[in-house]
Amino acid sequence: MAKRVIVRGGIISTDSDVFRADVVIDGEVVSALTTDSSGVEADEVIDAGDLLVVPGGIDAHTHFKDPDPNEIEGFYYGSLGAVAGGISSVVEMPQATPVASESSHIMEKIRIGEEKSLVDFALWGAAINQDLESIEEMIDAGVVAIKSFMAGSSPGFPRITDASMYDVFALLADTDIPYGLHAENDELLQDGIATLQAAGENDPLAHADSRPPVVEAEAINRAIFFAEETGARAYICHSSTVSGLELVRQAKERGARVEVETCPQYLALDTDDLVRLGPFARCAPAIRERDEVELLWSYVQDGTMDTIASDHCGYTIESKEAGRDNIWNAPLGLSGIQTMLPAMLDEFIHKRDLDFTDFVRVTSTNPARIFGSYPRKGTLRPGSDADIAIYDLNASWTVTGSDMLHRNKWTPFEGKTIGVRCVRTLVRGATMYEFNGEHVIHGNAGHGRFINREYGTGG
Ligand SMILES: [Zn+2]
């Protein structure tokens, strides 16, 4: 007999409904939702009275970097950060050593993930101007999406040429596989950096000034155009500007196959945080001014924004400190997998009066739909994986790096107070993480399972 667990008494939200129910879990899957489970025998009862119970978060954009000789992050520590924030699966980016651009690299990442990860994981493959056959072979190996950089921005990950990018779009046109783009215009970007450096501007705001919204919007425009010309599906990573999102909104109205992501750093932080944290807030695109941040929320509200993902990129403290006196010396990327969902729930529910269903839609259901794991993931209904995050909506805590479980103990939310805490995360029926005043890890490395694009329909 499979172990039976009951999550009793919580407020449940899916992407469409909020209701009170007990969740009955048999083994790895939800077997029933019932208003009264008092007569049901169980091996374990989790008391969720007054807590929020939602489908586990799916982080569509995370960098665990394995294989990683530089100890930036890895499947083990990265997934500890994930479960401590309510994330039960990730779609992991191809930055690694080497960059995952061939099927042999994908197979190696699957092996490492299945050995080390606590959360389920899907994989992105990289398009870096290689032959299309390599991309087809990565798809055969099970990647759920393909990623390119339109600008030179990530060490070791060459930017794609327009010609190669067009070819990849054409290759993917007959599939549902999203083509994810880091959308920034390379020439505008390099020119912006060179101009500011030549003027001796080395302070944190020079970073933001070097890549203003037009740098991003132009590239989004080009990506949408290629997607519409070929009929393929574009996924715009980490959007941060109104001008770019307006292009996406219009494209969606025309029926283009385009989806768009943003990150907590573009919805909750602003240039004051960039000034305050310096290198520890340097990322690409840059963190924006408060007016832009506020306007971004209207695209979350009206449904234009499809997903919120962390873009977790946990560089070492040492490497970030190198940019203390000269912002250009700090690597681009923020660690954020642990803080993402509590910080976003705090914004949605306490600060902006959005609905639980909106939160679930962009952090779980939409990523599951876009990357092929719906309805086994991204919802809570009989037959779904019992991937569950439980939140205390009245638990205020002040974020500090030493509280992070991912490998490198720093956070761009340093010093911020968040009014929501993740108190438990289940991955396929098993509690991986619990907060009882302290972090408690119950799960083992290797619990995580590789999920391919057919996972949602039983493959
Ligand atoms: Zn990224």
How many angstroms does the Cα of residue 433 sit away from the middle of ligand 1?
A: 25
Q: How remote is the CA of residue 20 from the centroid of ligand 1, in Å?
A: 37
**Residue 255 within a domain:** yes
The answer to whether 359 touches 378, Cβ cutoff 8 Å, is: no
* Same domain assignment for residues 345 and 445: no
Average pLDDT in the chain = 97
- The verdict on 38 and 91 lying in the same domain is no
- CA–centroid distance, residue 40 to ligand 1 (Å): 45
| Residue 375, domain member (yes or no) | no
What's the pLDDT at 349? 97
Q: Is residue 18 part of a domain?
A: yes
- Please write the tens of the pLDDT for every residue from 126-172: 999 999 999 999 999 999 999 999 999 877 899 999 999 999 999 99
| Last residue of one domain, picked from the residues 336, 370, 404 | 370
Question: Is there a domain that residue 221 lies in?
Answer: yes
For residue 399, is it within any domain? no
- For residue 439, the model assigns a pLDDT of 98
* Same domain, yes or no: 74 and 189: yes
Enclosing domain of residue 324: 56-370
Q: Is the pLDDT of residue 458 over 80?
A: no
Residue 293 has φ and ψ, to the nearest 5°, of -60, -45
CA of 294 to the centre of ligand 1 (A): 22
Domain boundary among 338, 370, 402: 370
User: Are 210 and 191 within one domain?
Assistant: yes
Dihedrals phi, psi of 374, to nearest 5 degrees: -80, 140
Question: 212: CA distance to ligand 1 center in Å?
Answer: 18
* Amino acid 69: pLDDT: 87
Q: What is the dihedral of CA 100, 103, 104, 109, to 10 degrees?
A: 50
| Statement: the pTM of the whole predicted model exceeds 0.85 | yes
Residue 72 has pLDDT above 80, yes or no: yes
Residues 113 and 232 in one domain: yes
Give the confidence band of 274 by pLDDT, cuts at 50, 70, 90: very high
How many whole angstroms from 437 Cα to the centroid of ligand 1?
A: 32
pLDDT band at 304 (very low <50, low <70, confident <90, very high): very high
End-of-domain residue from the set 313, 338, 370:
370
Residue 145 lies in a domain: yes
Residues 364, 358: Cα–Cα separation, whole Å? 10
Query: 404 in a domain, yes or no?
Result: no
- pLDDT value, residue 153: 81
Count of the separate structural domains present in the chain: 2
Ligand 1 centroid vs 290 CA: distance in angstroms? 22
Whether residue 324 sits in one domain with residue 435: no
The rounded Å distance from CA 65 to ligand 1 centre is 11
C-alpha of residue 285 to centroid of ligand 1, in Å:
10
Average pLDDT over every residue of 277-287: 98
Q: What is the CATH number of the domain that holds 441?
A: 2.30.40.10
Q: Answer yes or no: do 25 and 80 share one domain.
A: no
Residues 203 and 88 in one domain: yes
User: Do residues 153 and 159 make contact, with C-beta atoms less than 8 angstroms apart?
Assistant: yes
**Percent of residues, the chain, with pLDDT higher than 90:** 97
pLDDT in tens, 37-47: 999 999 999 99
324 and 452 share a domain? no
pLDDT at 48 over 90: yes
Instruction: State in Å: Cα 93 to ligand 1 middle.
Output: 7
CA of residue 255 to ligand 1 center, whole Å: 27
Mean pLDDT value of segment 269-295:
98
Alpha carbon of 64 to ligand 1 centroid (Å): 10
Tell me the CA–centroid distance for residue 238 and ligand 1, in Å: 8
> 61 and 46 in one domain?
no
The residue written with tokens 């970073």 in the block is 207
- Over residues 85-107, mean pLDDT: 97
CB atoms within 10 A of CB 104: 14
**Looking at the predicted structure, is the pLDDT value of residue 28 above 90?**
yes
Q: What is the dihedral of CA 96, 99, 102, 105, to 10 degrees?
A: -20
How many angstroms separate the alpha carbon of residue 284 from the centre of ligand 1? 8
Report pLDDT for 459. Answer: 60
CATH number reported for the structural domain that contains residue 312 in this entry: 3.20.20.140
Whether residue 192 is found in the same domain as residue 115: yes
pLDDT of 70 reads 85
Q: Is residue 407 part of a domain?
A: no
- Ligand 1 centre to CA of 344 (Å) is 18
Answer yes or no: do 250 and 295 share one domain.
yes
| Distance between Cα 182 and ligand 1 center (Å) | 8
Residue 312 CA to ligand 1 center (angstroms) comes to 7
pLDDT at 1 over 90: no
Q: What is the pLDDT of residues 411-434, one digit of tens each?
A: 999 999 999 999 999 999 999 999
pLDDT of residue 255: 97
Could you tell me which residues are beta bridge partners of residue 390? 53, 424
* Chain segment 218-241, per-residue pLDDT in tens: 999 999 999 999 999 999 999 999
